[in-house]
Structures are given as structure tokens and as C-alpha cells.
A and B are shown apart, each in its own frame.
Chain A
């Protein structure tokens, strides 16, 4: 009798969880990307569930590893949707993988939010795919504007990764924007992702003597190039995009990267980030990078939409997401535009040596979204 009563009493409290999927590179050479994002997402979901979940139902997160491979990404999303029956999907960091996963979501009519894929093609023509970050077009514009107006420099050099669409996209858009603003590109060099030695390119760059060198790759290449550039006697600041965002950048490059700038979604020393940074550090014992913050925002934005939607059906959730305006994320206020991209400010940070002796990014400027002239 007592036993039956207990069971009967417990049953209503165990509400059926709402399943949400995350696909990310948890292993492989981009493992830090997936892991940081997953940590941010889990932190958000933990908080949401602690506060009662979605109308009483907790969120259950299912994470699959893409191993940094776009074929795996498509498979992971298919599995999330067709066998795990998730109501929505979060993920990927790398744009090529988000494009693969987004195609599957679009086909099944399941909403997807990518926390940090910045390539314009990710959301293009897919009305179920959203992002909570800015696009590369805007990022390149923000960088060009910062060089021209804040640093007041006119001659830029470029060393980009010809294998990465992300790197090439930033290079193209930066070149366009910078020239329009009256600057000139004095040297344009390429390398292939995986190269470890940049001496030939850097010799040419040294000879052309630019005022600033754009290196729009990932932080691993950025760090390696910074070290080798200093050895070649190139002393001008380097300039990167959000691919530079990792606490490893300063650890690997050390003094070589001090004084260089990159654009990012948020900076940990921004005042409005403090609360999130503290929570993240308490839970994981490490500083969050912007990917952690974006994962956190993507999960919160999704939870908000699930709460407001008429049903958990794909179309209803999608409609709520599309109408997002001024959502207060830790990485800035998020407004979803008609192309399902977030129009958000970009921040520019500079690598600097702290009094402790390590090298950390410091917030220097923000570039507002309307400054892009709202192109397209």
C-alpha cells in the first residue's frame, strides 16, 4: 500500500523531458570548438531545468560527435531527428558542418540554431536555420572599419588559409570593405591549412612592409604565424577574426601576439559578461571563450522560444524564433533579421600581457551592427 502510494505520488512529478539535440566536434582537431560550445549549452540547460524547465518539463540534451567531418554532421543530425525525436537542434561551429546539418533540419522541418557559424551561406535559403552570431561579411567590415578609423592605418597585408572557406571569405570581404574606405592591400599571400612553416610568405610580407597584417584563419595558425612573423622581423600588429578566439592563443604565441587585435562576439572582460564568466568558471574551472557564451545564448534563446511557442512542433517554434527581437544574451542583444541572422555588435579585442604575466584579450572597441549600412 505504502509503496503504491509513493509510486502514485511520484508519477506526475517525473514530467517527460523535452529532447534537444547538439552536434559538435567533440573529438578531432577542432575538438575544443565542440567541447566549449557543449559546456555553454549544458550550463544554460542546467539553469533552465533548475528553474522548472519548459512549463514544468525538463530539457534533455543529446550530444553527438561530428569529429569535425561534414559527413558525420549530416549523419548526427539525421539520427537526432529520426531516432531521438528531438524538437530542435543546436550546432555546429564550423560553417561547412552547419551547412550539412542545416540541410537535414530544413528537410525535416526541425528548427536549428547555430551558435557560432559565421559564413553567410549557413542560413541562406533555409527558413528553419537560425544563428545567434553575426556573419563574416559584417565581421570583415568591422575589422576594416577598426583599422581605418580607430588605428588610422592605410596599408594592410593579408595571409590567409586558402583551404578554409571561412578564411577566404573574411579575406575577400575585408579587401572589398577596406578598399572602399580608401585603404590599400599591399600584399596578399596564401597558405594551406596544415602548413607549419610560413617563412616564404612572411619574407615577402616583410619586404612589402604593411602597417597591419590580416591573418583570418584559426587561432592555431594565427599563433604559429605570429611567432614566425616576429622572427622574420615583422613587428606590425596582426589582425584576426573570431577564429582566433581561444585561451590557447595567448598561451601558444606568448609575447609574439601581444599588441595584435581580433574581432569577436564578446570579450570576457566586458561588464555584462561577468555573471556568465563567473558561473562558467565555477562549473568548469576554466575561462569561457566566446563559443561557450554563444552556446549558452543559443540554448537560452531556444528555451525561450519553446516556452512561448503554441506547440513544440517545428513550425510553431520556428515562427517564434523568427520574431526574436532584443533577446538579452550574454554575448549581446540578439535580434533575428529577415535572413535569420543575428544582428549584433562585434567587439574588437587586443592581446595584452596582464600583470600576472600571461597574455589575454582586452576589450578595446565595439562596432555596432547598423554601421554596416545594413547591406543586402
Chain B
């Protein structure tokens, strides 16, 4: 569904990605783990069109090259990202945030139906429906960000650090819902620092280290490898 080849990104003189490659198959949950500053978020940004990849980079989504497409067109193709730090619009209500999620759609009935679906997935949001997003707790904001991304009816959902800064119980809830979303037929590319949780839900995984993919394979295999255990799971295990 998504194929990335020799993807390189520089911020000025600093190279953030040195030509990485990864593949996400239809229906999979693929996770990209790595420490802070490894280039995980940059990868997602490049896929979403927020940063311009270097010449020669290949990003193919559903058979179409999207390497130089503007972000709003990429969203229209069903490739939707829930950004790092959640990125909810704090001065708008939960309702308005969800409406914005459906910006690319104009089927009013479908939008209303999906909103009901999203609210049943995240019942907490239903209670806060008319509240401004800035007043929500961190966990609620994360739920809102994911619900909002679902409003676009994504076929491939990019999740950037959904567990960041959340209490352990909330993290459990979030990951349960990620699995539910995937079960509903949505392919997911998950970027996480919390390798322990990520490897638990994912089918396959890539390990990113200072701009290079250093390991890849089925999630269970990686979770079992000593290298990953020592480097990324110590804190969480």
C-alpha cells in the first residue's frame, strides 16, 4: 500500500534521513521505533508532504508517486496523519475539531455517521462535545486527535507518538483502540518511542537510528531480540 525507497530529508545542512526504505502492506499495523531524534517524525512528515524530500526519494502510495504532492492532496487520497503532540485546535470545540477532520469530505450524511462512530469509539469525547479542545486532558486530546483523523475516512493512518506523555492506563486504552481501528480495516503506520507497547500491537516493525533503518522484521521477532530489548525496551519493560 505504501512503499518508501531511499527517502532522504535534510533540514538545511543537517541530514535527518539518509535514504531509508520501508513498506506497509494493506491491513497491517507497521511500527517505526527508535529513540528521540532518530528521524521517526521526519519520516511521517515526508510521507504526508509536510517536508520536501531530497531528489531521488521515492514515496509510492497505492501505485501513485506522492513525493512532491502538497499535503492537502495527500489527505484527499486517504493518507491521513495524526501528528505528534496531537495538534488539536485548542480554541475550537471538540465538534469543530471533528468537522475539520472531515474537511476533505462533503457527504454530509456520511460525515454525521462517522462522527457517531468516532464518538462511540471514544465515549469520553461525547461528554466533552461542546467544550473547547484546549480544556481537555492530555489523554482526551489524544483521543480527539485520533477521532479527528478517522473523520477523514483514512485508508492509511499515520500515528505519531500517540502515547507521549500519557498515564499508563490511558496508554492501554489508546493502544486497544488502535487495534480496534485496524480491525475495522484501516492500515496503520505507527511511530512510537514506547517500543514495548508498539511491538505488542504491530505486525511488523522497523528500527530507526540516526536517520537509518538498522533492523526490520515481524514485531514479535524484534521484541524478542536482545538488541532491541537493551536499546529500547529497558525503560518500559
Direct contact of A and B (CB under 8 A): no
